Structure 1
Amino acid sequence: MKQVRYYIKDILEMLCVKLSDAKVGACTYAEHRPIGIGEQKDSISVVSLPAEIQNQGAYQNTEVRFDLIVRNREGGISATDELQEMLDNLLGLFPIVEERYSITSPRLLFKGDDGNGFTVWVVQAHMVINTTDRLWQ
């Protein structure tokens, strides 16, 4: 049996591609949004694993977090129509099932204005990571 391995890089890369393909924002980033980028985007999504990854033998359990971030309209008004479209596109992916992991049970949290001219909605979901292949190697 191989030692425990965490597939963080692989998971984040796959989820970034999935969100980009589903048009969940103009750009998708792993872990956190960039401090400054050349061209300012009006909508972005961020994928992160903000909780402990619990090792349970052949499987690992954790939470995955999706931040949906949209630039506010003039006067600081939230662009709820764009946030709703991003949310609908994201939830349309559920359940997210791949050979290595499955993501289920999405929950919506409202973070609100971030103080930088954007409104943030957060979706958290349960993730199970399959590590059974290490048992046979």
Structure 2
Amino acid sequence: MIKLKVNGRERSFDGDPDMPLLWYLRDELSMTGTKFGCGIGQCGACTVHRNGEAIRSCSTSMKELAGKTVVTIEGLSPTGDHPLQKAWAQGNVPQCGYCQTGQIMQAAVLLKKIKKPSDKEIEDGMAGNICRCGTYQRIRAAIKTAAKEMA
């Protein structure tokens, strides 16, 4: 039995310990905000937080989560009013929107570590989160907007 906390709620998992967290979230908990992109941890669409750090849920097995705390996009702000979520909407960041929850989750960790990131720090902090639509300029602008609100 694997015990973990997801978005503030205690959870127990007694399935295959090698199951990726992504499928537990989507199939077992019906939390579909976290997306499947590449399945090998390289695109960032599946980014969630484990104990405050960004991880790729498609390549993180359930056995790695015993006693850990996981936060998904649904848990970042239950009402959708986290400064990043507001900045994303205000800046019309998404085009297709598929990668955006992973982008927001990665950006949240970045802003915890660096309160007012430079363009280079944003680029480095967001590396590995791919947007096929190429909305990187809007992503950067939204991160800066959220950073101002959070400062």
TM-score bin (small chain): 0.3 to 0.5
The normalised TM-score by structure 1 is 0.33
Structure number with the higher helix fraction is 2
- Give the TM-score normalised by the residue count of structure 2: 0.31
Q: Compare CA radii of gyration and give the structure with the larger one.
A: 1
